[in-house]
Amino acid sequence: MVEQYFAGDSRTMQERMQAGDLYIADDPNLAADNARGMELADRYGRTWAGDRDEAKRILADLLGAVGEGTDIRPPLFVDYGKYIRIGARTFINFNFTALDVAPITIGDDVQIGPNVQLLTPTHPVEPGPRRDKLEAAQPITIGNNVWIGGGAIILPGVAVGENSVIGAGAVVTKDVPANVVAVGNPARVIRSI
């Protein structure tokens, strides 16, 4: 039944996933990548307080890129890790959840409060494809010098422009331009900076 979604498409599930197309969420190769990401994130958390140099090495192995001077407080939760790119001098507080089914790009000098979620996965509305464990994803981009308040949620496909502020607890459902403050659920721009 699932085969109908992939007829004539020779790409791997990983290639489909990264392209934003439907893929099988419980594909064995993706499951192995997911287990690796979760294990490294867990090891990072256990190492961080006692050996910062080793924690930095683990983080560099986990993430696609991490800039100089970036500090991520554990625990950190990822799907894969390797699809996350973080710029220099960025600070990310406790309980950061970054579901990187599609790429997540975080710029330089970004501040992210505790309990923030960046969620790239999407799921079909129709019940059949959901039952077949199909999902897709859209990338998230956070510009330079953005501040995301605690508990904010950034949804699939969203880009936040440089210098903007996302208020605590906001649910960001659409792009936020540069140099604004956005708050609420759904988040809306309340003023320019």
Distance between CA atoms of residues 30 and 22, nearest Å: 13
Measured CA distances, 118 to 9, 67, 132, 142 (Å): 29, 19, 25, 10
Which phi and psi angles does 17 have, rounded to 5°?
Answer: -60, -50
Positions marked catalytic: 123
Residue type, 6: F
Cβ atoms of 173 and 138 within 8 Å: the answer is: no
Cα three-residue angle 93-181-157, rounded to 5 degrees: 70
**Please, what sign has the CA dihedral across residues 72, 63, 24, 120?**
positive
Q: Could you give the 3-state DSSP secondary structure of residue 127? A: helix
Cβ atoms of 30 and 13 within 8 Å: the answer is: yes
Distance between CA atoms of residues 168 and 6, nearest Å: 41
